[in-house]
Each structure stands twice: as C-alpha cells, then as structure tokens.
Amino acid sequence: MRIVVGISGASGAIYGIRILEALKQIGVETDLVMSDSAKRTIVYETDYSINDVKRLVSCVHDNNDVGASIASGSFKHAGMIIAPCSIKTLSAVANCFNTNLLIRAADVTLKERRKLVLMLRETPLHLGHLRLMAQATETGAVLVPPLPAFYHRPKTLDDIINQSVTKVLDQFDLDTDLFGRWTGNEEREHAKSRQEQPA
C-alpha cells in the first residue's frame, strides 16, 4: 500500500509526523509534500528537524513541483492524508485552486475517487469555514478533526495525539498499536467498579 501525506502550515504538525511514523512502522510506503509554512511549524512546535521527517518517508516531493508523480492521476496510491490541514488548504481543496503540489495532489486524489482525509486544525469556526467543510465533503473529502476522546483516560499528550491519528488511519482500514479501542461492557464494568470502591 502507498499513501500520500501532506503537511500544511497549521498548528499541529506532530499529527502529520506521527502518521508518518505509524505508516512506516506497519510497512506502508509514503509520499510526502510539505508547505513552506509546514516546515516552519515543524521546527517551532516539535523536536524534529526537517531531515528527521524526510527520513520517515519513501519519497519527498517539492511543493512547487507540480510536475511530480503525485500530481498525476496515473500515479497509483490508496489515498491522501493532509495533517494538519489549515483553513487555507481546506479552501484551496474545496475550490480546486491548484496553486501548488499539495493542493494538486489532493485534487487528483478526489478526481480519481480515492480517499482524501483532511485533519482540519482550526477553532473557533465561522460560517465560511463550515461552508468550506461542507463543500469539501460534497466533493468527496473526509474531514477528521483531531478531537480527542477521553474514555481511554489519556495520561500524556502522546495518548491524545495517538487517538486522533488512529481515527485517521481507520479511514484506510489500517491497524496500529497506538491506541486501545473501546471494548463495550468490559470498559463500563471496569469504570463502575472504580466508582464503587470506598473512599
């Protein structure tokens, strides 16, 4: 399997990096394209260098190279993830505004009816943002914002990141050991027993 990963300049670059780490761990080949803003965000928000990130992938593409392989529908892959996805990137995807390789690759993914997952990182949202989300969804994209669940009782920031990353990878039916899944009654009984313990 091969997946294209795009990293935009929105806050939350660690989501894109963790996705690349997870895909590498399970043997999925990856093509990476990063915006210039993404590179700045990676250095500012994380302990990773740009070269560290590049070493996680099978192939790195320049965002200005609109003639790259991932710009063509004839390049076979299982789909594309943009994590994090800025509002600017969402707007460009929703409106087919192909000014760089990141957006062109996303547009090609949609036109070829492959899965495009957008990890939108913005809050609060105004009506224009919501309309762009609806427009992208109508075009075929899947929006998976990094909204954490708490039933697994996260203890670290990594626990929260990994849960959101797992939700993205679920879109491709990919399993990792990043996150413990809800098991139903067993979880409820465990929670109930904790509540019933004397103070």
**Residue with tokens 């109508």, as numbered in its chain:** 138
User: Strands (DSSP E) along the chain, which ranges?
Assistant: 2-7, 29-34, 59-61, 79-85, 115-120, 142-143
Report the share of the chain in percent with pLDDT over 70.
Answer: 92
Tokens of 65: 């190279």
Task: Report the pLDDT value the prediction gives residue 193, as an integer from 0 to 100.
Answer: 63
Q: Three-state SS for 29?
A: strand
Domain boundaries, the chain: 2-196
Task: Report the pLDDT value the prediction gives residue 94, as an integer from 0 to 100.
Answer: 98
**Residue with tokens 């105004």, as numbered in its chain:** 126
Average pLDDT over residues 61-89: 98
Task: Report the pLDDT value the prediction gives residue 181, as an integer from 0 to 100.
Answer: 83
Contacts of 129 (CB under 8 A, 6+ apart): 87, 90, 122
Task: Report the pLDDT value the prediction gives residue 183, as an integer from 0 to 100.
Answer: 82
Range in 74-83, 134-143, 178-187 the model is least confident about: 178-187
Residue 7, strand partner residues: 34
Mean pLDDT over the full length of the chain = 94
Sorting pLDDT into bands at 50, 70 and 90, what band is 182? Answer: confident
Task: Report the pLDDT value the prediction gives residue 184, as an integer from 0 to 100.
Answer: 80
Report the C-alpha dihedral over residues 78, 48, 88, 35, rounded to 10 degrees. -70
Task: Report the pLDDT value the prediction gives residue 151, as an integer from 0 to 100.
Answer: 86
Q: Three-state SS for 33?
A: strand
Q: Is the peptide bond before 198 cis (omega within 30 degrees of 0)?
A: no
Does the domain formed by 2-196 have CATH 3.90.1150.10? no
Strands in 29-34's sheet, in edge-to-edge order, are 59-61, 29-34, 2-7, 79-85, 115-120, 142-143
Report the C-alpha dihedral over residues 55, 164, 71, 92, rounded to 10 degrees. -130
Task: Report the pLDDT value the prediction gives residue 189, as an integer from 0 to 100.
Answer: 64
Task: Report the pLDDT value the prediction gives residue 141, as an integer from 0 to 100.
Answer: 99
